[in-house]
Amino acid sequence: MKIKLTFILILTSVFLSGCWDLVEIKDRAIITAFGIDKSDMDGKITFTLQTIIPSRISTPMKTSPEMKPSVRVVSKTTDSFADAIREYAKQAERRTYLMQNRIIIIGEDMAKEGLTPAMDFFMRHPDSFQGAWVLICKGKASEIIKWNSEVERIPADFIEELVKTRNFICSSSVENIHTFVNKLSTKPTSPATAMIELVDSGNNETEARLSGIAVFKKDKMAGMLDNLETKGYTWINNERGRRLFEIGDIGKANVKMTHEIEGSRTKIIPELINGKPAILIKVNATTKIYVQDGSLDLDSQDTLKKLEKMLEEEIKSQIEACLNKALKEYKTDIFGFGEKIHRKYPKEWKKFKVKWEDALADLKVITDVNVKTKSTGMIIDTIKP
């Protein structure tokens, strides 16, 4: 009986002893943003980490220059990612914690070198959050990580909100670690993700802003899409959100119209034309009139059809601008065209895949855009004073 009682007490002490590996928040270095740059020193990488100072998070938003920031930023130049984490932990005297890291910013120079080592680290590390956003910086990533937001105590929070806002207005396209690596690993598709930069906002202040898309050829950055080409990419990539289009010169002097795209759907259909691969891009969108600066008769079907036609041509021009830059200039498949042809025509793909990158410049892509006006807004007739 005593032996049984002793055994039960031992088991109870084991199961009720709590989490043996529990680390208190105050003992953690919570990383919220991770910057990676190519160092001026051969073969080395500069890592810039932004970590939360827990004791300052509960304080009100800073209202004066005297108040201390809520984050700590440290840069380390080392040979590898593991060395950077280890060296930072020594300096912080805390255990590093990557699970709260939502932003990974990579300098343009580093992106052109290749991102396989970086992606391998974030995919392999047990504490890494694979939903963290991957952004490419125009210039040095360290400058973005060190930047202080006037809106948020934690600058990474502001950048995360930029990403969420872009989802709503379709101004860019951002990949997280998981989707970036998935495209990187799916031949012959290459990843593409948003670029970020610091711009002058006036009064000697700067703000972070998403601007364009970094285009990759395998794991190396090949170039970027400008704002017009980026809009085309969001159409091809079937990004959901609301877009505003301003159309001018609609058959009458000084007449302008702003449309809001309320919904859209893009289908990419692989085809074979005379034995050669081709792609059909079908875009269907619904729109409503947002603002009218003029006196068009919006009760007329002829007027609405003319507006729809102009919108279709504008969307088509954005898509074609993106296709020309990615396929003809950079010769990279960031749209997954090859993978779609592979799935539909597996036998033919064996022949196409050998020289797929060379074939991209001559790939036949047909764009079919259809826009329907869903509403003229709360009123139909123009207000006439």
- What pLDDT is attached to residue 378? 46
- What pLDDT is attached to residue 63? 47
Peptide bond into 117 cis (omega under 30): no
The whole-number average pLDDT for the span 338-361 is 94
**Four-CA torsion 155, 156, 159, 163, nearest 10 degrees:** -160
Q: How far is CA 309 from CA 143, 272, 372, in A?
A: 44, 28, 9
| 339's tokens | 């993978």
Among 92, 87, 89, 66, which residue's Cα sits nearest to residue 77?
87
pTM confidence score: 0.85
C-alpha span between 341 and 158 (Å, rounded): 40
Among 189, 187, 223, which residue's Cα sits nearest to residue 111?
223
The whole-number average pLDDT for the span 56-69 is 56
Among 88, 158, 98, which residue's Cα sits nearest to residue 130?
98
State pLDDT tens for residues 95-141: 677 788 999 999 999 999 999 999 999 999 888 898 999 999 988 99
Which uninterrupted H or E stretch holds 165?
Answer: helix 155-169
- CATH 3.30.300.210: which residues of the chain? 227-385
Query: Looking at domain 227-385, which of 2.30.40.10, 3.30.300.210, 3.30.930.10, 3.20.20.70 is its CATH number?
Result: 3.30.300.210
CA dihedral (23, 24, 26, 30) positive or negative: positive
CB 116 within 8 A of CB 191: no
State pLDDT tens for residues 255-293: 677 778 888 999 999 999 999 999 999 999 998 877 676
Looking at residue 130, the DSSP 8-state letter turns out to be T
Number of C-alpha atoms within 13 angstroms, CB side, residue 161?
Answer: 9
Name the band, by pLDDT with cuts 50, 70 and 90, for residue 225: very high
CB 286 within 8 A of CB 263: yes
C-alpha span between 360 and 331 (Å, rounded): 6
Share of the chain above pLDDT 90, in %: 48
| 130's tokens | 């694979």
How many other C-beta atoms are found inside a 10 Å radius of the C-beta of residue 148? 15
How many other C-beta atoms are found inside a 10 Å radius of the C-beta of residue 354? 9
- What pLDDT is attached to residue 285? 92
Among 203, 187, 195, which residue's Cα sits nearest to residue 339?
187
Which uninterrupted H or E stretch holds 304?
Answer: helix 301-323
- What pLDDT is attached to residue 134? 97
Name 176's bridge partners: 133
Helices 227-236 and 301-323: crossing angle, nearest 10°? 100
C-alpha span between 207 and 158 (Å, rounded): 10
Share of the chain above pLDDT 70, in %: 79
How many other C-beta atoms are found inside a 10 Å radius of the C-beta of residue 250? 16
